[in-house]
Amino acid sequence: MTKGILSNYQTDYFVSIETRNDDYTKFLIIKKMKTIKTIGFLVSILLSFTAIAQPWSVNPNSFQFSMTVTGEVSVSGDIINQQNAYIGAFVEGQCRGVSPSSEEGGNYKLFFITIYSNDVEGENVEFKLMDENDVETAMANTIQFKNDANYGSADSPFLWMDSEQYASTDFLSFALDSQVTTATIDAANKTISIMVRKLTDRSILVPSFTLASGAIAYISDVEQVSGVTENDYTNVVYYLVKGADGIETDWTVEVKTDNSGISEIEKNNFTIYPNPASNFIIIAGNTKQVVQVLDITGKVVLSQSSQGMKQSPTTAYFTIINNDEINIDISNLTTGIYFVKIGNNAMKLIIQK
């Protein structure tokens, strides 16, 4: 640690400056003496020493084009939350942007960086983190520069990573409202398989999904928006995912109907599935009649009628999916053989935990 004193014969103030051995300014302390005469002098000193605190520098006037990124930094799987951390953008070793961490709700996780270039698009931008202890870490993921592009936001930040946790064109999640199992995402083969309830109309499904930071998904050149874009999944659907680094990858998504273990009560055209089940069952058909679940002794453990839900004795959850389907929560029932009674008809149900 070194200290120095800057003084001016025209003022009764003096400035005490403390710096670290690595020449980054750490403290700038203005001590009051009697009167102030040259405020501008002190302000200029403050600004000059603040400027050199950054580990890298860039001159925006040297470039014609720019883009922005709002993101967080993950090191060893943990999100950096440091007041004096910096993210730097580089093209072939030249600094093209630098940003300190910004305060948001008492945390210092977000970085708002502007990146500069003299090419409209195409340059590969690499990133480095300088943490509060002046430890420099190279980031694993890159971005392909594109003028006026904006990656990430405060609500959905781009994620810089010190090691590749996933590829730049990966699907991280994929879900449908009518699914009966969690989607199987095969990142190696770039495939997604998901199963939906019997009788689901696969021609009008709207998936919710997340992609790698900065990636965009397309189907036939139409950008896909999670939770918004509707597609026909009757057959295999082909996605093109473009990563922030410019890489493009084809993905296939297959939506299947759950036809396994289906039991039917033919007289009233009821369908109960899955069977065996563990957490829930779906009853499809005319569900205006009384629905009950009985144990092997004939005791009613779940009951619901058109007048509403009854609890006898286990808490039951009967969710109306549509006019022809009811979802029954059986997660509180133990493993065993039960019977689903609908009106005067009954069907065996096997619960496996």
**Nearest residue to 160 (alpha-carbon basis) of 232, 103, 111, 203:** 111
Structure tokens at 8: 């001016």
pLDDT at 7: 37
| pTM score of the predicted model | 0.56
Q: Does domain 171-257 have CATH number 3.40.109.10?
A: no
Domain borders along the chain are 2-51, 60-161, 171-257, 263-351
Residue 210 pLDDT: 95
Q: Could you check whether 60-161 and 263-351 share the same CATH topology?
A: yes
Domain 60-161 has CATH 2.60.40.10: yes
Give the separation between CA 24 and CA 32, rounded to whole angstroms: 24
CA distance 172 to 161: 15
Q: What is the CATH number of domain 263-351?
A: 2.60.40.3080
Per-residue model confidence (pLDDT) at position 305: 52
> How far is residue 127's CA from residue 54's CA, in Å, rounded to a whole number?
15
pLDDT of residue 318: 57
What gap in Å lies between CA 98 and CA 114, rounded to an integer?
A: 7
Q: What's residue 327's pLDDT?
A: 84
* Residue with the two structure tokens 């709700």: 105
In one letter, which amino acid is 181? Answer: T
Q: Say if CB 181 and CB 194 are below 8 A apart.
A: yes
Per-residue model confidence as pLDDT tens for the chain (353 residues) = 333 433 333 334 334 343 333 333 333 333 343 333 344 434 334 443 444 468 999 999 999 999 999 999 999 889 999 999 999 999 999 999 999 999 988 999 999 999 999 999 999 999 999 999 999 999 999 999 999 999 999 988 999 999 988 899 999 999 998 888 889 999 999 999 999 887 788 999 999 999 999 999 999 999 999 999 999 999 999 999 999 999 999 999 999 987 655 454 444 567 788 889 988 888 877 556 778 888 877 788 888 753 444 444 443 455 555 556 788 889 889 998 888 888 777 788 899 98
Residue 333: how many CA atoms within 13 Å on its side-chain side?
31
- Edge to edge, the sheet with strand 270-273 lists 263-265, 270-273, 280-284, 325-329, 317-322
Least Cα distance to 108 among 131, 142, 139, 125 occurs for: 131
